[in-house]
Structure 1
Amino acid sequence: MADNTLLKYFFSSGAEIDPEGRFNLSRKTRTRRLKEIYSILQKHHFLRGFSPEEFRAMLEDLGPSFVKIGQTLSTRSEILPKAYCDELKKLQMECDPLPFDQMLAALDDIYGERQGDIFDAIDPTPLGSASLAQVHKARLANGDIVAVKIQRPGVKATMALDIDIMRMVARQASRFMKDDQMLDLRDVVEELWATFLEETDFQREAANLQEFARLNKDVAFIDSPHVYPELCGEYVLVMEYIDGIPILVTDRLRAAGYDLEEIGEKILDNYATQILDHGFFHADPHPGNLLIRNGKVVYIDLGIMGRLSPHDRAGFGNIIQAVGMQSATELKSALMSFAIAKDNAAIDHTRFLADLDLLLEDYGSCDVADIDIGMFLNDILMLTRSCKVTLPSSITSVSRGLVTLEGTILPFIPNENVVSIINAHIQRTKDPAEELAGAMEDLALALRSSARGSMDAAQYSGEALKMLTRGQLKVNTEVLGSEAPLSHLGKIVNRLTIGIIIAGLFIGSSMLSLSSMEPRLLGVPVLAFFGYLGAAILSLWVVVDIARKR
């Protein structure tokens, strides 16, 4: 009897998924969470549809994992109508806060008796309340004003359960989605799990803040909060309090004298620096994570960061340059060199190049402001997957970050495009002297290779002429790609042969039927009868075969 993977999942211990046993993933907890999700969906009458406000409220009730999904959807106007996107943007700024007593109890669990020695005062009114954590303004014993980010009690276990359930759904869905052009949902969920582990560990975020500050210390318009690593832990983060203007409050920004277009261009230019130069970039730059203070863009939440190796940075830069040049040949070379796996024998290079040409032509015919970077990157991923070219997983986090950032700064630069700005950044950061030296080196290597090839060609030509004059030259030819036409021709010849046999049987049987040969069956000689029968069977077989293969 075949294994029932659904039952196996629900009756498993969870050890394979959560080997450390930190999140109590078991049949009982999964079933309880599924019942809870179903009751919330029923409460909001999800089968009847819902207004933007009801949709936001439902995601908030479902918990932090679904709030994260709502935050991502809020920047994707091509997926949801504008009214829904506008309502979901509220999830980036505020969620219903937990009572202050619960936050104090959480701090007591973290610091114990040290809490009174660390904090002189904590404001009971939260600065912000997100799906994962709540932030309170506080004053340290030394007088520093800080923001204390406290993870909501129990939220980590709930998110682990939600992703665990998504893993089950992805596993079942993958059994029915065999098309190579479909993304493997299991890989998506595993990436979500890795992101969850990073985002819910505030010690990692503290390290991210320090690394981000180090890499951007010479950038005049980018900043991040100073962190107090000695006070941070897995469930609490203590950092400098930032009194800034939220990036979505454009009226306040204009009143403060800021140029919105300049803000958008600088954010995107620095994001290109993070990806292409540092290889350490903010992977979730939604509006709730950006403030403007003293002429600087301040990233206040660095829980999810992406990392690119030098090889990946160079590969992604080459892809952007090729798109900017509208060159399918350059884009194909960039994708092939960027790939981590490719089966050259299985790749249809002609089709790959033609599809890239059509893709660039399609997007090249759009106005700059109309290009959807999310759709464009998705089309490239689907195309490479269909052509048996596997890109590294880092491309997913880069694509998600760019799509999120595009939705964030779109009101600031409506007439610009992500690809064009990143390409301009690449051109600005190039050293003309190094470019010239590289071009001269490439030219010298090409000339050397050409000269050597010419000398070899002359030598081989002389040897071939000598063999030709002596009658020793033989030519072996192979027609590549001829198997299919030859097979088709063979089928045609077979049908013609059978047709000749049928005609012979009919003519021979007709001639025998005029004779007085005995014995007879149905008025004709037996031999003629079986001749007619054989011809009829062969004729019927040919007709059915032709109809089946039309």
Structure 2
Amino acid sequence: MLAPVRTAVKDVLRLREITRVLTKHGFKAVARRLGAEEEVEDTDAFEGPQSLIGEDHDEAAVRFRRVLEELGPTFVKLGQIMSTRPDIMPPAFINELKHLQDRVPPLPFETVKEAIEENLGKPMPELFKEVNEKPIGAASIGQVHRAKTHEGDEVVIKIQRPGIAEVIRSDLDILYYLARILEATIEEVELYTPTAIVKEFEKAILSELDFRLEARNIQEFGQNFGEVVEVSTPKVYEALSNDRIMTLEFIDAIKLSELESGSDRAKRVLNTLLDAMVKMVLDDGFFHGDPHPGNILVREDDTLVFIDFGLVGRLSAAQQDDLILLIVSVLTGDVEGISRTLLRMGSPVGRVNLRAFKADVVRIRDEYLLSNLSDINVSQFVTECTTAAQAHKIRLNPNYAVLTKAAATIEGIMRFLDPNLDIMAIGMPYASDLAKRRFTAKKIAQGAMTSAMGLSSFLTQVPQQLDQVLMDLEGGNLTIEVKNQAIDEVGKHLNTLGTRLFLGIMAAGLSICAAILLAPHDFKVMDVSIGMVLGVLLAGIATLFFWWALSWHVVGSGSGNKLKLGPIMRLIRRE
């Protein structure tokens, strides 16, 4: 019974720590929004979104990165994922978040040994012939050691840091709280939906905590490239792996970044890399989400080995077709095609001014595609298109954001491997193949058949639906509902006020009950009433718990949500 109280106290203390760090790095307006006025000297009224970060976005991005690093693993991971989302983060923040580092000391080997034995259920000497005590990598979630199996295989062991899952789950609860505050107090966040971002982050980071999911990603990638001898992945030792320990084949190879830039070998590897990316994205619909040079190894025979599948992306067949259409439209300079495809790839939030949106597309096309095509900066071009979609309230699918980040990384690798690379010249053969695949006679016939069937269904149903409307009108069953936002808001405010009053009465009642129950058993120590001390303590705990529950309601009240039991149940389950 005391576990939820302890957890709530920890969460409150953690929230105070977050406000302290925000204030320390100049985000006083944000700290005020968290209800930490007493810790913030400057309590000027909130004047708008600009006061949250300041006038200088570049300087604010540096401060934001420092905040995340100081707050620890969960926030560092959040920043790393946000750096892959140009659709929700300004360019200055994207560039700065790329420099986020997991500054964590390595675990003592005794702790590593205990974790291996506890999770795999056997003494370490029975599991491995030898394990190198010095880690080859240490990050916020895991630590990696080289080892050798009893069969003589060279392997690496990825060990999850003990207790990290509990820390991350606690921080996730607080992130939901922060997201609801933003949604309830700042109108401009409608397009970005902070709660949805946290939900997506929760899914990503909890998946990363389960090493079995990464192992399955590695195996799926290996199956997709089973017939491609130039590309491979490490072998997963399933008998020596579970959700917190993963044992993989050790790859004796160099990092991609260690190749000599512009050499013949680098150009051969470049061709293999391009073929692999096209296959991943447009054939398999399953791609590596973070293909930076450290995650791509090169064997002596020029075989590429992809590692670290904690972040992957998936595209449906329809999304693949949209992507092909976008590529073809970009290469042909078709403004109408680019505009229509971007609209289809995203979800408009509110009304989109198509004329203004097309004007932005024309501007971007003229700036990038009508210049020297060999010097085109693909990453900047994609960023401009994403920014234009964002400005016109078009929310892109998260999978496209992961793909955008992966494509930008691959472009950087390509220019490193071949500094004289002509992006358009090397891309045209791929685009030609994509166009042929997209516009095959079979696909055109399938599309025509689907459209014909849809039209037939439409023509059949419309008379029936119109007849129903006329019958409802004649029978007096047709009603028109008029909505007034100002009137609707009255109910929300009354609901919030009633909840405040109810929870305040409950907290006061519990305090009085505690005092009454303890009164007959009161005794003093050094003239101090123990009953009074316990009563004050219980009253404080009661007030803390109910105001904690209230916070979930109040910050959600701006969207008309009722008090939800989900956060409270998570609190009770979490130790």
Aligned position for 2:334: 327
The 3 A distance-change label for structure 1 pair 376 and 134 is same
SS of aligned partner of 2:135: strand
Query: Over residues 383-439 of structure 1, what are the superposed CA-to-partner deviations in whole Å (9 max), with x where a residue is unaligned?
Result: 44555655433222222332344455543345558787666424235658x957469
Alignment partner of 1:299 is 2:306: yes
Indicate the residue corresponding to 1:425 in structure 2: 430
Change (3 A) 1:55 1:341: closer
Structure 2 distance, partners of 1:45, 1:175, is 22
- SS of the counterpart of 1:238? strand
Q: Deviations over 1:235-273 (max 9, x none)?
A: 01111011221233x3xx239976334434532442232
Percentage of matched positions with identical amino acids: 28
User: What SS class does the counterpart of residue 304 from structure 2 fall into?
Assistant: strand
How has the CA–CA distance of structure 1 residues 25 and 243 changed in structure 2, closer, same or farther, with 3 Å as cutoff?
A: farther
Quote the RMSD (CA, aligned, Å): 4.5
Letter of the 2:306 counterpart: Y
Residues 72 and 435 of structure 1, relative CA distance in 2, 3 Å threshold: closer
Q: 1:359 aligns with which of 351, 364, 382?
A: 364
Provide the C-alpha distance between the structure 1 equivalents of 2:319 and 2:337, rounded to a whole number of angstroms: 17
1:14-41 CA distances to partner (integer Å, 9 max, x unpaired)? 9xxxxxxxxx994323233345556778
Q: Given residue 407 of structure 2, which amino acid in structure 1 is its aligned partner? A: L
Corresponding residue to 1:280 among 283, 286, 297: 286
Deviation at 1:337, TM superposition (A): 4.0
Question: Any idea what the Cα deviations from partners look like across 1:526-545, whole Å, max 9, x if unmatched?
Answer: xxxxxxxxxxxxxxxxxxxx
Which residue in the other structure is 1:518 paired with? none
Between Structure 1 and Structure 2, how many residues are aligned? 413
Q: How much does 1:231 deviate?
A: 2.4
- The answer on 1:226 being equivalent to 2:238 is no
Distance 1:299 1:145 in 2: 18
The answer for the alignment partner of 1:79 in structure 2 is 92
Q: Report the CA distance shift for 1:61/1:355 in structure 2 as closer, same or farther (over 3 A).
A: closer
CA contact (8 A) 1:137 1:147 kept: yes
* Alignment check: 8 A CA contact 2:374 2:421 kept: yes
Greater shift in the superposed pair: 100-109 or 173-182: 173-182
* Cα displacement (A) at 1:128: 1.7
- Kindly tell me: are residues 60 and 81 of structure 1, through their superposed partners in 2, closer, same or farther at Cα, counting changes over 3 Å? closer
Matches within 5 A, 1:406-417: 406-407=411-412, 409-416=414-421
**Match of 2:519?**
none
SS of the residue corresponding to residue 136 of structure 2 reads strand
Q: Which amino acid aligns with 1:260?
A: A
Deviation at 1:68? 3.6
Equivalent residue in structure 2 for 1:316, among 317, 323, 336: 323
Question: Amino acid of the residue matched to residue 327 of structure 1?
Answer: D
CA distance in 2, matches of 1:196, 1:287: 22
For residues 449-485 of structure 1, give each alpha carbon's deviation from its aligned partner in whole angstroms, at most 9, with x where no partner exists. Answer: xxxxxxxxxxxxxxxxxxxxxxxxxxxxxxxxxxxxx
Deviation at 1:171, TM superposition (A): 2.2
Please give the alpha-carbon distance, in whole angstroms, between the structure 2 residues aligned to 1:131 and 1:121. Answer: 25
Shift of 1:317: 1.7
Deviation at 1:279, TM superposition (A): 0.5
CA spacing shift, 1:65–1:111, aligned 2, 3 Å: same
Q: Deviations over 1:157-210 (max 9, x none)?
A: 233333433333332223344348842232222221111121111000111111
Match of residue 118 from structure 1:
127
Name 1:149's counterpart in structure 2.
158
- Give the structure 1 partner of residue 108 of structure 2: 99
Which letter does structure 2 place at the counterpart of 1:30?
D
CA contact (8 A) 1:283 1:306 kept: yes
**More deviation, 315-324/273-282:** 315-324
Is the contact made by 1:373 and 1:419 (CA closer than 8 Å) also made in structure 2? no
Tell me, in whole angstroms, the C-alpha distance in 1 between the residues paired with 2:248 and 2:170: 29
Q: Is the 8 A contact 1:306 1:398 kept in 2?
A: yes
Q: Does residue 27 of the first structure (1) align with residue 40 of the second (2)?
A: no
Separation of aligned partners in 1, 2:319 and 2:94? 35
Amino acid at match of 1:315: D
* Consecutive unaligned residues in structure 1, runs of 5 or more: 1-12, 15-23, 446-550
Q: Render the CA deviation track for 1:301-323: whole Å, top value 9, x for unaligned.
A: 11121111111111122112211
Deviation at 1:150, TM superposition (A): 0.6
Q: Residue 150 of structure 1: SS of its match in structure 2?
A: strand
Cα pair distance change 1:382/1:40, threshold 3 Å: closer
Aligned to 1:289: 295
Given the alignment, which residue of 380, 389, 408 partners 1:403?
408
- Taking a change above 3 Å as real, the CA distance of residues 192 and 378 of structure 1, as seen in their structure-2 partners, is farther
Q: Secondary structure at the match of 1:301?
A: coil
Supply the distance in 1 between the matched residues of 2:270 and 2:306 (Cα, whole angstroms): 14
Range with bigger deviation, 200-209 or 154-163: 154-163
Equivalent residue letter for 1:247:
L
TM-score, length-scaled by structure 2:
0.60
Deviations 1:488-534 (A, max 9, x none): xxxxxxxxxxxxxxxxxxxxxxxxxxxxxxxxxxxxxxxxxxxxxxx
Judge conservation of contact 1:265–1:413 (CA < 8 Å) in 2.
no
- How many Å apart are 1:381 and its aligned residue? 3.8
Picking from 334, 338, 355, the partner of 1:350 is 355
Q: Which amino acid aligns with 1:283?
A: G
Residue 208 in 1 paired to residue 217 in 2? yes
The SS at the match of 2:187 is coil
For the structure 1 residues 198 and 374, does the alpha-carbon distance in structure 2 shift closer, same or farther, using more than 3 Å as the test?
Answer: farther
Structure 1 residues 389 and 56: alpha-carbon distance in aligned structure 2, compared to 1, 3 A threshold: closer
Q: Matches of 1:197 and 1:102 in 2, distance apart?
A: 22
Worse-superposed segment, 203-212 or 293-302:
293-302
- Alignment-derived partner of residue 474 in structure 2: none
* TM-score for both structures, normalised by structure 1: 0.63
Q: What amino acid maps onto 1:329 in structure 2?
A: E
C-alpha distance in 2, partners of 1:265/1:150?
35
Alpha-carbon distance between aligned partners in 2 of 1:196 and 1:428, rounded to the nearest angstrom: 37
Equivalent residue runs for 1:183-262 within 5 Å: 183-248=192-257, 250=258, 253-254=259-260, 259-262=265-268
Matches of 2:402 and 2:13, distance apart in 1: 32
Matched ranges for 1:437-476 at <5 A? 437=441
Shift of 1:300: 1.5
Encode CA deviations 1:205-242: one digit per residue, 9 max, x unaligned: 11111100010122233221011223221101111011
CA 1:257–1:322: 2 relative to 1, 3 Å: closer
> Which whole-Å CA distance do the structure 1 matches of 2:369 and 2:262 have between them?
38
Q: What secondary structure does 2:331 align onto?
A: helix
Residue of structure 1 equivalent to 2:74 = 65
